Amino acid sequence: MSNLGIGQLAKRAGVAIDTVRYYERNQLLAPAGRLASGYRRYGESELKRLRFIRRAEALGFTLEDIRGPLSLSDERNVAKVKRAAEAKLTDIEQRIAELQRIRKGLRTLITACPGHGRAEACPILNALTQENPR
């Protein structure tokens, strides 16, 4: 271990090989060391970084966030990381609120719709069709 080809690294991190190269191209991963042949070589630190990225994604961070506030060089900057997490939380809360608004609308319409009969009796169609849907 700790001297991995790109295939082994990808497998251990649970990502595709192309994803590793994509991350390198997009500065999420530092350029890998190379063998004389040009083959990339990785150690434990790259594996950790890759797992770091995956966990950050699972917390709702975009790759752009990870490139920026959560970048390699900032992994030790606690204050910046906390601010990034707070900003992301605000963002997530707004998305939840928006989806809840949509859910409420759908629930209201579904409850009121008999599921058969004339289109004019279907509140879903009416809501979509009328000038002032409610």
Partner DNA sequence: CTTGACTCTGGACTATGGTCCAGACTGCAG
Partner DNA sequence: CTGCAGTCTGGACCATAGTCCAGAGTCAAG
The pairs formed by 39-42 with CB atoms below 8 angstroms and a separation of 24 or more are 39/5, 39/6, 40/5, 40/6, 41/3, 41/4, 41/5, 42/3, 42/4, 42/5, 42/6, 42/8, 42/9
Token readout for 21 is 């190269």
Q: Which position among 12, 43, 63, 80 is part of the footprint of DNA (CB under 7 A)?
A: 63
Q: How near is the Cβ of 35 to a copy of itself at its closest, in Å? A: 28
Q: Is there binding between residue 134 and a copy of itself (CB under 8 A)? A: no
Q: Is there binding between residue 38 and a copy of itself (CB under 8 A)? A: no
Segment 15-34, which members bind DNA (CB under 7 A)? Answer: 15-19, 21-22, 32, 34
Partner from DNA, a copy of itself, none binding residue 124, C-beta < 5-8 Å depending on class: a copy of itself
Nearer to DNA, 19 or 108 (CB): 19
- Phi first, then psi, for residue 4 (nearest 5°) are -105, 145
Q: Is there binding between residue 78 and DNA (CB under 7 A)? A: no
Give SS3 for 34: strand
Nearer to a copy of itself, 35 or 118 (CB): 118
